[in-house]
Amino acid sequence: MKFKLNKKNTLFLPKSHISDDLISKESFKYLKSLRKVIKDKKLENKPCEEIVGVLFDYKIKYITGDSCGGYCDIENKTIALNIEHYDIDDKQRFLHELGHTIQNEIGLFDIKENKLLSHKVKIEQETESMSYYLFDMIYTKDIDKKHNLLFDSYFSIEDFVWLKNWYRHYNIENDLIIKIND
């Protein structure tokens, strides 16, 4: 993991498991190009509805009654955020789902095709790591608050179990060394 100095010239160490090594070269390249678009279109610190609308022509939909905090619906070009699990100031959850839109743009988000649990975990860990970088690019006014956030979803056994259950309709094969029971 690469560490950088924050605006106060102190070393910022994230309290998480994210790593540059979890982000594909294609995703890093796309993130780099996205940084310029975000600046050119003045999307820093804008509401999530405006960000996804301008960047990807997606909509935000607020939902209730689901076990997840949010999801990215590629077919309907929608990011759904569960208001029962989502605080409007919870930029991190929105950024995670925005990461899935990026993965879709570059052909990495294949929700129905790859049936291995390890692949699903890898995709989610990459997305969580991308959300860390997206925070820097989009929420420039809140950069000093970033140290209070945990970018740690999909890194525990409990997360793997949840993910396996989330994809249960796709007949996911548990190819992990650790056998996960439902």
Q: Give the domain CATH number at 137.
A: 1.10.10
Pairwise pLDDT comparison (13 vs 172), residue with the higher score: 172
Whether residue 179 lies inside any domain: the answer is no
- pLDDT score at 16: 55
Q: Which residue has the higher pLDDT, 112 or 92?
A: 92
Is residue 2 in some structural domain? no
How far is residue 98's CA from residue 52's CA, in Å, rounded to a whole number? 7
Which is more confident, 43 or 17? 43
Mean pLDDT of 4-29: 63
In a domain, 11, yes or no: no
Can you give the residue range of the structural domain that contains 51? Answer: 40-170
What per-residue confidence (pLDDT) applies to 89?
54
Q: With 80 as the cut, is the pLDDT of residue 120 above it?
A: yes
Tens of pLDDT, residues 103-117: 999 988 876 677 788
| Residue 30, in any domain of the structure | no
| Backbone torsions φ then ψ of 80, nearest 5 degrees | -100, 130
Report the pLDDT averaged over residues 42-53. 94
In a domain, 149, yes or no: yes
Q: Kindly state the tokens that stand for 35.
A: 């940084």
Q: Is 70 exceeded by the pLDDT of residue 5? A: no
pLDDT band, very low/low/confident/very high, at 150 (cuts 50, 70, 90)? low
For the chain, how many structural domains are there in total? 1
User: Is 102 contained in some domain?
Assistant: yes
pLDDT of residue 48: 92
pLDDT score for 178: 61
Distances (CA, A) of 21 to 18, 25, 61, 63: 8, 9, 32, 33
Between 175 and 90, name the one with better pLDDT. 175
In angstroms, the Cα distances linking 133 to 24, 28, 126 are: 13, 10, 11
